[in-house]
Amino acid sequence: MDYYQDSYRPESGDGYSAPTQGGYGGGEPRQNQPPLLTEKLFHDRKEFFLDLKENNRGRVLKITEKVGGRRDTIMVPMEVMQDLYEALGRIMDYERGLE
């Protein structure tokens, strides 16, 4: 199965729908729109999908972890990405010092 089919299969009941004029609700689900850029990582039995997405509210990084058929996803607005990047760097530096 290719990545697009695997990552973007609509899931019912996720409460995530496309924005309509004046707010959210109704319309087609945003997750059906292909990402601008995708990275896929594997580790042990886990898969990680990093998708740069865009909608009428701006760009976001969608991070999805897939383990045994279960998915957990967070959406990070691009305005937060520099802070996230720096925080991850501090965590990596600290972890290296633990060895």
Of 31, 49, 33, the residue nearest 41 (C-alpha): 49
Tens-digit pLDDT profile for residues 43-59: 999 999 999 999 888 99
Looking at the chain, the whole-number percentage of residues with pLDDT higher than 90 is 62
Structure tokens at 86: 């720096």
**Alpha-carbon gap, residue 15 to 91, rounded angstroms:** 32
Going from the N-terminus, what domains does the chain have, and what CATH number goes with each?
3-97 (3.10.450.700)
Q: What is the DSSP secondary-structure string of 30-79? A: GGGSPPSEEEEEEETTEEEEEEEEEETTEEEEEEEEEETTEEEEEEEEHH
Whole-prediction pTM: 0.65
